[in-house]
């Protein structure tokens, strides 16, 4: 088990209270060897622990066939028969301005 000092040293604690308040948190325990390997991976890939965790959970959801984002969930709920209709780009109108 890793103490709070190691978590703070890795940068896992949030300095921004607004961001921390909007995120759901869960305390997780790791074996010492696993924690050491995660710290090395984070350093090697230049990612934070949070970024590694997000990537791992997204991969886990995809592996089991669950949507990762709201956009993906909406596309699945629409089904295979749903067609995506591209919108035509808007033309910019050039208005001649007259001075009064």
Q: What is the mean pLDDT of residues 20-30?
A: 82
- pLDDT tens per residue, range 63-100: 998 999 888 888 888 776 667 778 888 777 766 666 66
> Is 35 inside a domain boundary?
yes
Q: What is the mean pLDDT of residues 22-27?
A: 84
* pLDDT over 80 at 11, yes or no: no
> Is 96 inside a domain boundary?
no
Look at residue 92 in the predicted model and tell me its pLDDT.
Answer: 73
Domain residue limits at 40? 4-78
* pLDDT over 50 at 26, yes or no: yes
CA–CA distance from 56 to each of 21, 49, 82, 87 (Å)?
22, 11, 30, 35
Element housing 54 (H / E): helix 49-63
> Is 88 inside a domain boundary?
no
């Amino acid at each position: 088990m890793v103490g709070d000092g190691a978590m703070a040293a890795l940068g896992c604690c949030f300095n921004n209270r607004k961001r921390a308040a909007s995120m759901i948190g869960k305390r997780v325990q790791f074996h010492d060897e696993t924690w050491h390997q995660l710290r090395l991976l984070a350093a090697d890939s230049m990612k934070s622990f949070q970024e590694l965790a997000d990537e791992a959970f997204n991969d886990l959801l995809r592996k089991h066939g669950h949507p990762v984002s709201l956009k993906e969930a909406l596309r699945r709920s629409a089904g295979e028969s749903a067609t995506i209709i591209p919108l035509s780009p808007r033309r910019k109108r050039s208005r001649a301005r007259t001075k009064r």
